[in-house]
Homo-oligomer: A and B are copies of this chain.
Amino acid sequence: MDNQHQPEITPGNTDSTEQRIFDAAHELFVLKGLDGAKMQEIADKAGINKALLHYYYRSKEKLYEMVAKAVIGRAVPVIQNLLESDDPLEEKISRFIDFYIDMVSRNPFIPLFVINELNKHPDRFFETILPKELPRPHAFFRQVEAEVAKGNLRPIKPQHLLVNVVSLCIFPFVAKPMIRIVLGLDQQEIKAFLAERKEAVKAFVFQAIRT
């Protein structure tokens, strides 16, 4: 063991070594970013020798790529389904909000990871990480336009509506520590506050768009 750090192996990890490495890398890359996470740290968390990282994944970059691809690829099909379903619009939006807030409150660091990746390594993102199939919101857009035309919805550009909904869902979880400070909430209170978000966002959005 050339290990001067505390090993703190994640327990209960009975999978293959390759998987353990991947899981450890996933956790640390998402938490600390490419530069922040160290190979030794990942090895420690996976409970294996640093050389194994290179045995299974050739380099830090490659390992990072795998993780990034997995993280991003995971959410895309779900969003796609949500946007393309033929539910009535309000129901679709409601489901969308539920899904997004559930997802992001379980994994609050994922959106930050994606955004950072996209801002800091756009080249790599477009070349190797971006999945071929990315959400096509056209169906959703036409649906909104149809409702606006029918007079069921106040006039709004569907693009702005989509961006608004996503912003309202994601941002508060990403900025959770900031919000905690500004609103002066403790651990419990911020949790309660964020738990109210599903209903708060739905109410806000629907009041904004209903005629």
In addition to A115-B175, A164-B201, 12 A-B residue pairs with Cβ atoms within 8 Å of each other are A114-B178, A115-B177, A116-B116, A122-B177, A134-B182, A137-B183, A156-B203, A160-B200, A162-B183, A164-B168, A167-B171, A167-B172
In the complex the two chains form, is A120's CB within 8 Å of B36's CB? yes
Q: Digitize A120-150: 1 where CB-to-B-CB distance is under 8 Å, 0 elsewhere.
A: 1010010000100011010000000000000
Q: Which of A27-35, A39-47, A61-69 is the interface stretch?
A: A27-35
A193 vs B157: C-alpha distance in the bound complex, in angstroms? Answer: 10
Contacts of A170 on B, CB cut-off 8 Å? Answer: 167, 171, 175
CA distance A78 to B84 in the complex (A): 42
Residue of B nearest to A126 (CB): B181
**Copies of this chain, how many?**
2
Q: Is there a chain B Cβ closer than 8 Å to A56's Cβ?
A: no
Q: What are some 8 contacts across the A-B interface (CB < 8 A)?
A: A125-B177, A137-B182, A156-B200, A168-B168, A171-B174, A204-B208, A205-B208, A207-B209
The docked-state distance in angstroms from the alpha carbon of A167 to that of B135 is 22
A118 interfacial contact with B, CB 8 Å: yes
Q: Is the CB of B109 within 8 A of A160?
A: no
Hey, which chain B residues are within 8 Å of A179, CB to CB?
163
| Among B112, B118, B130, B167, contact of A168 (Cβ-Cβ < 8 Å) | B167
Contact residues in B for A130 (Cβ distance below 8 Å):
181
- Residues in chain B near residue A207, CB distance under 8 A: 154, 207-209
Chain B hits for A157, CB < 8 A? 196, 200
Is A70 in the interface zone, CB < 8 Å from B? no
Question: Which single residue of chain B is at the shortest CB-CB distance from A108?
Answer: B119
Q: Which residues of B contact A183 (CB under 8 A)?
A: 137, 159, 162
One of B32, B166, B182 near A135 (C-beta < 8 A): B182
Residues of chain B within 8 A of A134, CB atoms compared: 181-182
A71 to chain B, nearest CB (A): 13
CA distance A177 to B208 in the complex (A): 26
B118 x A204 contact (CB < 8 A): no
Contacts of A36 in B (CB 8 A): 33-35, 120
